[in-house]
Amino acid sequence: MDRQGNIVILTGAGISAESGLRTFRAEDGLWEDHRVEDVATPQAFRRDPDLVQRFYDERRANILAAEPNAAHRALARLDAEWPQDGSGSLLIVTQNIDDLHERAGASRVLHMHGEGLAVWCTACDARHSWHGTLRDDPPCPSCGETALRPDIVWFGEMPYRMEEIFAALSRADLFVSIGTSGAVYPAAGFVQQASGHGARTLELNLDRSAGSQWFDETRLGPASELVPQWVDEVLGRAGA
Ligand code: APR
């Protein structure tokens, strides 16, 4: 197979909006009900753990009630059909804490802001899949301590697996950003990282974002339309 190329895809809340999961910075956004600093920081968790636990209990329930949409399914199809050998690679870096990429069937997914359906024990460092609530302070399945927190990267904490992400960006032939406002670093800087290493860059978003100026091409519209269309193009070109 001739060289298909290395693709890095960044997804944000916009790809899950049509699955009914609220984004952060729209007028009806998640942060409208809560100030970020009141629920998504380590200080907030120390100050009012019950509020933070209840906020993420709500997120967890919303995730479980949501279904993947056509955009998640299209990326899963690309993941299934794109090479994972010397002729090409693919990595979906998501800022989202939902599991809709995985439930659509994607496997090469990296959650840089953690996962809403996982918990982290601050006593023994174990991580566990978790579909229940934390507001009732349940014991850690590993050590029994009541020290579980959402396995979410809060503001001021280091996003996960950044080395792996930077390595993928440095090898990318194509960087595609889907459904993100480009408001939060380091994710907002990935487009410049990728293009600095010679990648072509494409943005698929409902509105222009803070980073649109850095992309070779921006297509505006709902992800459920733009993403399947783009995947057809990519697989069509590859003759897959
Ligand atoms: N299709 C495509 N894009 C959409 C859709 C849709 N149906 N609906 C909304 N969008 C776009 C919006 O235009 C916006 O640019 O998705 C983007 C959502 O932006 P944010 O709400 O800022 O979400 P995101 O970019 O993922 O936020 C990044 O900030 O709050 C932190 O940790 C949180 O991971 C989050 C990070």
Domain borders along the chain are: 6-21+68-113+158-238, 25-65+115-152
pLDDT at 15 over 80: yes
- C-beta of residue 175 within 8 angstroms of C-beta of residue 8: yes
Of 15, 21, 24, which is best to mutate to test ligand 1, by the most ligand atoms within 8 angstroms of its C-beta?
24
Count the Cβ atoms, other than its own, within 10 Å of residue 129: 11
Instruction: Give the three-class secondary structure for 10.
Output: strand
pLDDT, residue 101, reads 98
Q: What is the mean pLDDT of residues 150-162?
A: 97
Q: What are the catalytic residues? A: 113
Q: Residue 205 C-alpha to ligand 1 middle, in angstroms?
A: 9
Q: What is the mean pLDDT of residues 41-55?
A: 95
Instruction: Using the atom order of ligand 1, give the atom closest to the CA of residue 180.
Output: 25
Mean pLDDT of the chain: 95
pLDDT, residue 61, reads 97
Q: What is the mean pLDDT of residues 136-141?
A: 98
**What is the C-alpha to C-alpha distance for residues 135 and 153, in angstroms, rounded to an integer?**
19
pLDDT at 188 over 80: yes
pLDDT, residue 2, reads 59
Q: What is the mean pLDDT of residues 174-199?
A: 97
Q: Name the fold adopted by 25-65+115-152.
A: SIR2/SIRT2 'Small Domain' (3.30.1600)
End-to-end CA distance of the chain: 10
Instruction: Using the atom order of ligand 1, give the atom closest to the CA of residue 12.
Output: 26
Q: What is the mean pLDDT of residues 218-229?
A: 98
Q: What residue's CA is closest to ligand 1, atom 8?
A: 14
Instruction: Give the three-class secondary structure for 160.
Output: coil
Residues with CB under 6 Å of ligand 1 are 12-14, 17-18, 23-25, 29, 95, 113, 179-181, 183-184, 205-207, 209, 222-223
The dotted CATH code for 6-21+68-113+158-238 is 3.40.50.1220
pLDDT, residue 1, reads 43
More confident residue, 10 or 4: 10
